[in-house]
Amino acid sequence: MKVYFSFLLLLIISTFAFPQLSYYGDYTALIIGYVRQDNYDTAINPDNIASLKDINLSNSMTWKMSAGDDNGHLELWFGLNQYPIGAGLVAAAYDGNSGTDLSNTYLFVNDKGDNVYSIDLMRANVNWTINQSLLVRLGRQSLLTGYGYGWNPIDFANTTKDPTSPLSELKGVDSLTFQLFPYELTNLKFYFLFDDTVLEHGTNYDELKGGSELSLSLPVFDVKLTGFLDQNTTQMGIGSQIDMMGVGVYGEYAIHFSNSEESKVNSLLGIEYVFPWETSFIIEYYSHQEGFSEEERDNILLTIKNDPLKANEYWSYYNPGYYSQYYGMAYLSQPFYSYNIQTDMTLLFSLDSGALYLIPEVIWQKSGSLIVSIGYTGILNTTDDPSSEAYLAPVKHSITFKSQYSF
């Protein structure tokens, strides 16, 4: 962490060397109301270790800085978030690759001791345009790729998306990236991932990890080839998207080879369309062999019930949208431009565990900078599977009031 503060200081100082400096960001205030059931006590939240309350106030802010010209560009993003004390400490205790992972952030507790605040470095990178065919980027950056809305199985480097909130901004990864543009319609990328201990302690060749991506874009057809390699796994993927008379059809296929277990395949198939009256919809099917089978979910649940002290470990396994192996999603959106209102509906269904998420939301753009919304999240168990996401969720029903101001 201290190395990143040094790197951050260097980036801030270097902003004076970049023209066209700009600052922007947003502040978000939330009021979340939960419907209490069994005092929020489930296998992953025994005795309510996450300190869930019926009514919760939450604040977050993202501050962004950008500077540069055609020859180089600097990017800095900071995130400030608020969590209940239990949820924050549980999240900070593990180093997951999705969900609320706070293991590499700066945390502090308020005076009352009931909330944890995190300060996170979301982006911190500099890029240089060497010539028209080569760009080099160093630092914390986004390597997000793929065509899916809720999932991107061919994206091997980034934090995985939350399919219940796919548009949320993800924390970047630490990388040295080379991006080449050999031809007008192609894009070739090589990246090498590292963590902040590399600058202090160095690394060995067999500890290096990195990947590549080749993209080809035609007027009605796109294709991506991706790959990733580290000391334990080899991953390869292919994705494509085609415009069929206004209907977007896309798919992704990824295979993971491991030194210690058999290969696993993740795949995605989706369609998207916008009707003449501006209603848009997306339908996706996701097959996730890296998720847990029914037998594996039952074994994990049995372990936690026999030893509640392992609930923190179980919390890191519990990742809605990835916990099981087969999922379907439907997203529907309808704008009402005369009133500056948009209505959204998301349905997420686990085909093997029977967990169903209902997430409607009404969004009102009060002005160019202020957005107000109200939403509901319902998690229903359509089967009697006690190891499904719905059965394990401490909160089954919630209502959220959100106000976001952009500056």
The span from the CA of 294 to the CA of 133, in Å, is 49
Which of 16-20, 120-124, 219-223, 346-350 shows the highest mean pLDDT?
346-350
Residue corresponding to tokens 């959220």: 400
Q: State yes or no: pLDDT of 235 exceeds 50.
A: yes
Provide the pLDDT for residue 99: 46
In this structure, the strands spanning 186-193 and 134-141 are: unpaired
Higher pLDDT, 159 or 216: 216
Higher-confidence residue of 64 and 199: namely 64
Residue with the bigger pLDDT between 63 and 49: it is 63
- The mean pLDDT value of the chain amounts to 85
pLDDT above 90 covers what percent of the chain?
54
**Residues in the chain, overall count:** 407
Q: Mean pLDDT over residues 150-174, rounded?
A: 92
More confident residue, 19 or 352: 352
| Mean pLDDT, rounded, for 160-175 | 90
pLDDT mean over 190-215? 81
Contact indicator for 254, 154 with CB cutoff of 8 Å: yes
Q: Dig out the tokens for 10 from the structure.
A: 């260097």
Q: Contact, 22 vs 75, CB < 8 A?
A: no
pLDDT value at position 277? 94
pLDDT score of 163: 93
pLDDT tens, position by position, 58-81? 889 999 988 888 888 889 999 988
User: Is the separation of the CB atoms in 97 and 159 below 8 Å?
Assistant: yes
What is the pLDDT confidence band of residue 147, given thresholds at 50, 70 and 90? Answer: very high
pTM: 0.87
Residues 316-366 pLDDT 10s: 677 889 999 999 999 999 999 999 999 999 999 999 999 999 999 999 998
Helix (H, G, I), strand (E, B) or coil at 320: coil
**Based on the number of CB atoms within 10 Å of its own CB, is 82 exposed (0-12), middle (13-18) or buried (19 or more)?**
middle
- pLDDT bin (cut points 50, 70, 90) of residue 90 is very low
* Res 116 pLDDT > 60: yes
Predicted pLDDT of residue 17: 60
Higher pLDDT, residue 23 or 328: 328
Integer angstrom CA distances of residue 325 from 264, 266, 353: 11, 9, 9
Going from N- to C-terminal start, the domains of the chain cover: 163-289
Rounded CA gap, 107 and 101, in Å?
A: 12
| Contact present, 148 and 284 (Cβ < 8 Å) | yes
CA distance readout (Å), 66 to 14, 28, 69, 79, 205 = 12, 21, 10, 15, 34
pLDDT for residue 72 = 86
CB 119 within 8 A of CB 106: yes
